């Protein structure tokens, strides 16, 4: 479980995240939704100790963020940021292998190699493993970053808009990969803009707006016309399909 207690964030005196308290259960997929600038990335970066905590506490599976070595945390959660521009020139296979750093510290064993191979296969990158990252399409590069996070083989995955650049089929592959992990006890906290992916796969939805948690609950509870229209300040209809909410954009 990720336990977020009274976590807030200010930049240059402006509050961009009001004190937030939140429990994210393990063994589930939790979707973090909300309009641009709502504070989703800010919250995810604080939980992933990418940005230092200014106030409040976060613990992940009982490990307190402030009191746990970063290297230990890297075996508990993998983080993929919203923008993933690389300055260095690496091959896909090399990038994915860096995901094993927290486990092997540069001395890969058979387990590490197997994890890298599995992650490459999971995201359809086997044929691209030898290609340089700067010679890939946007979606192929995004899949390589996802494979790197998967290779880290952690109980938790923290993903910020992982669908960026992905086509429909690969976006679905990603959600299916998360669901496979969930079946083995894995957990994920994922920032999503396409609400139907949240409707189709998430167990919980956390909605943020203007630096606050706006609504929280199961997809059925949060993905309603009222809450969503209010969240995005635009009329949104929600139908149903196979027992799950279906968010309609065109009316």
Partner 1 sequence: MTPGFRHLRLALSLGLGALCLLSLSVGAYEVPAAGLLSDPMGLLVLSVSRLPRTLAAVLSGAALAVAGVVMQQIARNRFVEPSTTGTPESAALGLLAVTLLAPGAPVWVKMAVAAVSALLGTALFVALIRRLPPREVFLVPLAGLILSGVIGAVVTWIAWEADLMQLVGTWLMSGEFSGVIAGRYELLWIAAAAAALAWVAADRFAILGLGPEAATGLGLNPDAVMRLGLVVVSVVTAMVVVSVGMIPFVGLVVPNIVARLMGDNLRRTLAPTALGGGALVLGSDLVGRLVVYPFEIPAGTILGVTGAAIFLWLLWSKPRHVA
Ligand X SMILES: Nc1ncnc2c1ncn2[C@@H]1O[C@H](COP(=O)(O)OP(=O)(O)OP(=O)(O)O)[C@@H](O)[C@H]1O
53 binds partner 1 (CB under 8 A): no
39 binds, among Mg ion, ligand X, partner 1, none (CB under 5 to 8 A by kind): ligand X
Nearest position to Mg ion, beta carbon? 41
> Burial level of 214, CB count in 10 A (0-12/13-18/19+)?
middle
Cα–Cα distance for residue pair 76/86, rounded to 1 Å? 24
Query: Candidates 15-23, 85-93, 121-129, 184-192 — which segment interacts with partner 1 by CB under 8 A?
Result: 85-93
Which residues ranging from 54 to 83 are in contact with ligand X (CB under 6 A)?
A: 82
**Binding at 128: pick from Mg ion, partner 1, ligand X, none (beta carbon under 5-8 Å per type):** none
The interface with partner 1 within residues 63-82 (CB under 8 A) comprises 69-75, 78-81
Which residue in 87, 169, 183, 251 binds partner 1 (CB under 8 A)?
Answer: 87
Q: Is 163 in the site for ligand X (CB under 6 A)?
A: no
The reply to whether 52 sits near ligand X by the rule CB under 6 A is: no
Report in angstroms the alpha-carbon separations of 205 from 2, 198, 199, 201: 14, 7, 9, 10
The size of the interface with ligand X (CB under 6 A), counted in residues, is 11
Residue 135 contacts partner 1 per CB under 8 A: yes
Positions in 188-207 near Mg ion (CB under 5 A): none
Closest distance to Mg ion from the beta carbon of 2 (Å): 18
Applying CB under 6 A, which of residues 5, 16, 90, 118 lies at the interface with ligand X? 16
Please choose, out of 87-95, 169-177, 182-190, 219-227, the segment that lies near partner 1 by the rule CB under 8 A.
Answer: 87-95
Catalog residues that contact partner 1 under the rule CB under 8 A: 45, 48-50, 69-75, 78-81, 84-91, 94-95, 98-99, 101-102, 105-106, 130, 132, 134-135, 137-138, 152
Catalog residues that contact Mg ion under the rule CB under 5 A: 41, 82
């Amino acid at each position: 479980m990720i336990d977020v207690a009274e976590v807030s964030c200010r930049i240059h005196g402006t509050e961009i995240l009001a004190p937030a308290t939140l429990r994210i259960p393990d063994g589930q997929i939790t979707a973090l939704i909300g309009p641009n600038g709502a504070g989703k990335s800010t919250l995810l970066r604080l939980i992933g100790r990418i940005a230092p905590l200014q106030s409040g506490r976060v613990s992940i599976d009982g490990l307190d963020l402030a009191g746990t070595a970063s290297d230990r945390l890297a075996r508990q959660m993998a983080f993929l940021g919203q923008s993933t521009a690389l300055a260095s020139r690496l091959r896909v296979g090399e990038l994915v292998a860096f995901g094993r750093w927290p486990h092997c510290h540069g001395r890969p064993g058979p387990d590490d190699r197997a994890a890298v191979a599995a992650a490459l296969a999971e995201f359809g990158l086997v044929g691209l493993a030898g290609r340089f990252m700067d010679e890939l399409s946007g979606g192929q590069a995004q899949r390589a970053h996802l494979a790197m996070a998967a290779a880290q083989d952690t109980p938790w995955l923290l993903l910020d808009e992982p669908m960026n650049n992905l086509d429909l089929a690969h976006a679905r592959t990603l959600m299916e990969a998360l669901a496979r992990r969930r079946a083995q006890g894995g957990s994920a906290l994922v920032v999503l803009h396409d609400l139907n992916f949240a409707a189709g796969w998430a167990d919980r939805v956390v909605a943020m707006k203007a630096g606050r948690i706006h609504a929280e609950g199961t997809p059925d509870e949060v993905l309603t016309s009222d809450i969503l229209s209010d969240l995005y300040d635009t009329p949104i209809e929600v139908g149903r399909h196979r027992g799950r909410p279906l968010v309609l954009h065109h009316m």
